[in-house]
Structure 1
Amino acid sequence: MAEFAQNLDPNNLVLIEAVLSFVVSPFEAPAYNLPIFLFGIYAQENSESTQALRLFTGMLVGSIVFDIIWMIRHSQNWFIKLLSIVILIFKVPTFVAFGSALRQRGEQFAGLGVRGNDLSGPTVWSMPGGFTSLGGSRNGYEPVDGDRDIESQPRQTPSGPNITTTPAVPPPQSTAAGQGGYQTL
């Protein structure tokens, strides 16, 4: 597959699709294909930045889905429909060729979450409360306050001018025998 992608010429593919989109543009055909392919010609020629190339590749994938929806919802002349299907079929090798061109320029599909053949990739995130996916103490849980243990801290009672503390009163002792553990007050 990699050899096939390297043999494709992205320039010729996008140029053919731009010409086909121009031919069908006066008829009932998707209006977004011509601007996308014109932008693809610009993205292929712009070697200063890969941002335009990534944007075109993403728009190309989205337009494949839109083409299918558009063809289901609209009836066309058989010749225009045939040309629209040819354009749709050409979009797949164009995507492969532009993806290969991105890799040759040192760029990957970072915006799509795909890094070459690695679909899962490293996880570098943490959840609130200190739980991390990278491990740590207590099966991945790290306390928010650092290493101090909450249970070992002495409890503090609030103090202030309106707060009064009462001494603890022991429960009343039962004096009557035979009450079965009930206490009277």
Structure 2
Amino acid sequence: MDFVQGLDSSKLVLGGVALSFLISLFSSPPYNLPIFLFGTYVQEQSEATQSLQTFAGLLGISAIFDVIWMMRNDQSGFIKFLTVILTLLKIPTFFAFLLVMRQRGTQFGGLRAGEGATVWSMPGGFTSSGREGYQNVDDESFNHQPRPTPKTTAPNNPSTLSPPGAYETV
């Protein structure tokens, strides 16, 4: 992990843009240049955490697509070498952007926006913060005393009672 901390993500992205621009003149995967251009935009935005996650995901998936593309298409020797170099460049760039996401306070999963803040909350006001119209169980005004049960009087004549399970008419 120390190796990744020493990497400069902006230089890696610019190197990816230059290399993908160079090989875009020949038979190469057409998605590399737009992905790296998107990475230069995301690198400059400090609040764009979801765009950062999108770029890291696209970069990881496109490395797999590069391998599939190279197996299915023929390239000349030098262009194939540059495509392999670009694919290998995606690996440290991916990890460098994961580190940038961690430094900006987000994770790759996207379920947490920061410390303690979650994307969803429990319905019905069962959270500690409460919601309008609901009363929290841990609220001080909550009555902990059980309600008294109403007293009913038993009928005087046991013969008027229905046997258990029988239907009654109202």
TM range, smaller chain: 0.5 to 0.7
Structure 1 position 109, deviation (Å): 1.4
- 2:37 maps to 38
**Structure 1 26/110 Cα, relative in aligned 2: closer, same or farther at 3 Å?**
same
Q: Which runs of 5+ in 2 are unaligned?
A: 112-163
Q: State the match for 2:68 in structure 1.
A: 69
**Map of 1:59 onto structure 2:** 58
**Aligned pairs for 1:1-185 within 5 A:** 1=1, 3-111=2-110, 156=165
Whichever of the two has the greater Rg, that structure is: 1
Distance in structure 1 (CA, Å) of the matches to 2:57 and 2:165: 58
Distance in 2 (CA, whole Å) between partners of 1:61 and 1:100 is 14
**Tell me, which stretches of 5 or more residues in structure 1 are unaligned?**
114-154, 161-185
Report the CA distance shift for 1:104/1:76 in structure 2 as closer, same or farther (over 3 A): same
Q: Distance in 2 between matches of 1:158 and 1:61?
A: 68
Residue 74 and residue 6 in structure 1: after superposition, are their counterparts in 2 closer, same or farther (change >3 A)?
same
Between the aligned partners of 2:166 and 2:53, the Cα distance in structure 1 is: 60
Output the CA distance in 2 between the equivalents of 1:38 and 1:11: 11
SS in 2 for 1:55: helix
How many pairs align? 118
Superposition misfits of 4+ residues, deviation over 6 angstroms: none
| One-letter identity of the residue aligned with 1:72 | M
CA RMSD of aligned residues (A): 1.9
Decide whether aligned partners of structure 1 residues 156 and 52 sit closer, same or farther in structure 2, where only a CA change above 3 A counts: farther
TM-score (norm 1): 0.60
Higher RCO (C-alpha 8 Å, min separation 6): 2
Q: Provide the C-alpha distance between the structure 2 equivalents of 1:9 and 1:37, rounded to a whole number of angstroms.
A: 15
Q: Percent identity?
A: 50
